């Protein structure tokens, strides 16, 4: 009898959520044991950590602790997905809002040298609740449209925070304030590099991929060469291209007029283009090879010409796979464009490498954070696109 009773209780799921326990532990560590913000008298000196209650006025400090505790409890208990989502969202908004307030209360606005930046406790809390959001989103399994909506909402929130000056006291924005113009110039250069090289790579890669699909002997050779290019480390490839482009600039009439130079944007652009070719070409080949033979036979049987078959049958069917290749390229390019700074190509890498050189971490963040955000956005948007264009299959119901 007794054994039977134990068995019954064993079957019942635990009353608390395992992931929630980890999230709550992280949240408690972040809230009580780790510093919330770092205060530095000036840009380069060692900072001192401040706990939540030291960094914020009491009412806000206790308020934040209450929100964090509430979020932790919601995470631990087996609550509904929407409740978890809402609790995590509230906690994240409170954290983002209050980290700006911490800057205001730790360093008076008239002190131009003092720096306040988010410290490990803040990042751990953000991580904890971001995990909760990610878990809730995974369980909700939203469609592509809804995902884009979430992204737009998050961006709008960040935009509002920035526009209303909530974060102006934070050191990363002080770095921004002192070089706002360069920031946008480098941002433009970064996007030009990442998107421009992608556009050119697509324009070259698609026809090359189609050609490789049709001509067996070409396929292996082209893919091998492109694979080999991928193994050359990015800084080396950027550097290697300096010489040939320098030669072109001085010897080909008109080359300089269109911006070809030995150092700067040109070698970075060409290097990114070369890296981008493999995913585009390879995915075009895979996509076309995956077109069902029956669909091709039917198209031939209906009397389509080669060109019609390519445009109306093969290409639409291969499109999601090609798009997946473009996603890989875009995310990869946004990251790699950072390296361009090393050869004078500009982009967000300028701040990253300057910051590393000056051991000014706020400056590193000014370069790294937008890069990560861009890559992340690109991934979400293109994943949604791939899903919309992909084969329609029934989605699992949310658990």
Contacts of 237 (CB under 8 A, 6+ apart): 229, 271, 274, 275
Report the 10 Å Cβ neighbour count for 208: 19
H or E element in which residue 238 lies: helix 234-240
Q: Is 101 or 327 the residue whose CB approaches another protein more closely?
A: 327
Check: CB of residue 43 under 8 Å from CB of residue 105: no
* 252 interacts with another protein by CB under 8 A: no
Nearer to another protein, 28 or 375 (CB): 375
If the CB atoms of residues 53 and 373 are measured against another protein, the closer one turns out to be 373
Query: Can you tell me the distance from the alpha carbon of 87 to that of 132, in angstroms, rounded to the nearest whole number?
Result: 9
Edge-to-edge, what's the strand order for the sheet holding 48-50?
Answer: 48-50, 37-40, 115-118
Any contact of residue 142 with another protein (CB under 8 A)? Answer: no
* Count of residues touching another protein (by CB under 8 A): 47
CB 266, min distance to another protein, A: 15
380 contacts 151 by C-beta, under 8 angstroms: yes
Least distance to another protein, CB of residue 84, Å: 12
C-beta closer to another protein: residue 42 or 308: 42
> Is residue 371 within 8 Å of residue 336, measured between CB atoms?
no
Does residue 349 interact with another protein by CB under 8 A?
yes
**Is residue 368 a contact point for another protein (CB under 8 A)?**
yes
Region of 68-76, 81-89, 306-314, 356-364 interacting with another protein (CB under 8 A): 356-364
Residue 126 near another protein by CB under 8 A: no
Note whether 106 and 50 are within 8 A (CB).
Answer: yes
Q: For another protein, give the closer residue by CB, 164 or 359.
A: 359
Q: Which helix (H) or strand (E) holds 268?
A: helix 265-289
Asked if 240 is part of the footprint of another protein (rule: CB under 8 A), the reply reads yes
Q: How far apart are CA 383 and CA 390, in angstroms?
A: 10
Q: How far is the CB of 328 from another protein (least distance, A)?
A: 10
User: To the nearest whole angstrom, how small is the minimum distance from the Cβ of residue 314 to another protein?
Assistant: 28
Of 33, 45, 66, 134, the residue at the interface with another protein (CB under 8 A) is: 134
| Of the candidate residues 139, 300, 312, 395, the single one contacting another protein (CB under 8 A) | 139
Q: What are the residues facing 48 on neighbouring strands?
A: 39
Considering only residues 370-389, where is the footprint of another protein by CB under 8 A?
371-372, 375-376, 378-379
Applying the rule CB under 8 A, the residues between 187 and 226 that interact with another protein are none
CA dihedral sign, ordered 378, 379, 382, 384: negative
Q: Which two tokens stand for residue 230?
A: 């991928």
Six-digit token string for 262 = 């030995």
CA distances from 230 to 236, 275, 349 (A): 11, 6, 20
Q: Does the protein bind another protein through residue 170 (CB under 8 A)?
A: no
Where does this chain touch another protein (CB under 8 A) — which range of 145-153, 170-178, 199-207, 236-244? 236-244
Would you tell me which residues interact with another protein (CB under 8 A)? 3, 17-19, 131, 134-135, 137-139, 228, 231-237, 239-240, 242-243, 331, 334-336, 338-339, 342-343, 349, 352-353, 355-356, 359, 361, 364-365, 367-368, 371-372, 375-376, 378-379
């Amino acid at each position: 009898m007794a054994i039977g009773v134990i068995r019954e209780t064993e079957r019942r799921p635990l009353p608390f959520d395992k992931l929630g326990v980890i999230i709550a532990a992280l949240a408690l560590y972040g809230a009580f044991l780790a510093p919330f913000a770092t205060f530095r008298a000036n840009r380069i000196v060692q900072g001192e950590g401040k706990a939540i209650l030291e960094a914020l006025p009491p009412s806000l400090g206790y308020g934040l602790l209450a929100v964090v505790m509430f979020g932790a409890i919601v995470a631990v208990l087996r609550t509904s997905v929407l409740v978890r989502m809402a609790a995590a969202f509230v906690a994240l908004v409170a954290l983002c809002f209050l980290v700006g307030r911490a800057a205001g209360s730790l360093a008076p606005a008239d002190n131009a040298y003092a720096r306040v930046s988010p410290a490990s406790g803040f990042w751990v809390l953000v991580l904890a609740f971001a995990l909760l959001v990610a878990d809730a989103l995974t369980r909700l399994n939203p469609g592509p449209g809804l995902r884009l909506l979430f992204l737009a909402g998050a961006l709008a929130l960040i935009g509002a925070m920035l526009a209303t000056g909530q974060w102006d006291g934070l050191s990363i924005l002080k770095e921004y304030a002192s070089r706002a113009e360069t920031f946008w110039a480098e941002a433009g250069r970064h996007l030009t590099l990442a998107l421009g090289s992608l556009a050119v790579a697509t324009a070259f890669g698609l026809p090359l991929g189609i050609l490789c699909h049709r001509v067996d002997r070409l396929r292996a050779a082209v893919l091998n060469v492109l694979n080999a290019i991928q193994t050359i480390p990015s800084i080396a490839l950027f550097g290697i291209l300096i010489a040939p482009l320098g030669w072109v600039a001085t010897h080909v009439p008109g080359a300089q007029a269109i911006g070809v130079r030995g150092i700067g944007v040109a070698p970075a652009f060409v290097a990114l283009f070369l890296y981008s070719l493999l995913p585009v070409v390879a995915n075009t080949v895979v996509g076309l090879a995956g077109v069902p033979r029956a669909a091709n036979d039917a198209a031939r049987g209906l009397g389509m010409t080669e060109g019609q078959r390519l445009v109306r049958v093969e290409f639409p069917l291969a499109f999601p796979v090609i798009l997946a290749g473009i996603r890989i390229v875009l995310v990869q390019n946004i990251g790699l464009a950072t390296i361009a700074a090393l050869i004078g190509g500009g982009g967000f890498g300028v701040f990253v490498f300057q910051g590393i050189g000056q051991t000014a971490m706020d400056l590193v963040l000014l370069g790294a954070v937008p890069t990560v955000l861009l890559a992340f956005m690109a991934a979400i948007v293109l994943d949604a696109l791939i899903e919309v264009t992909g084969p329609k299959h029934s989605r699992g119901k949310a658990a």
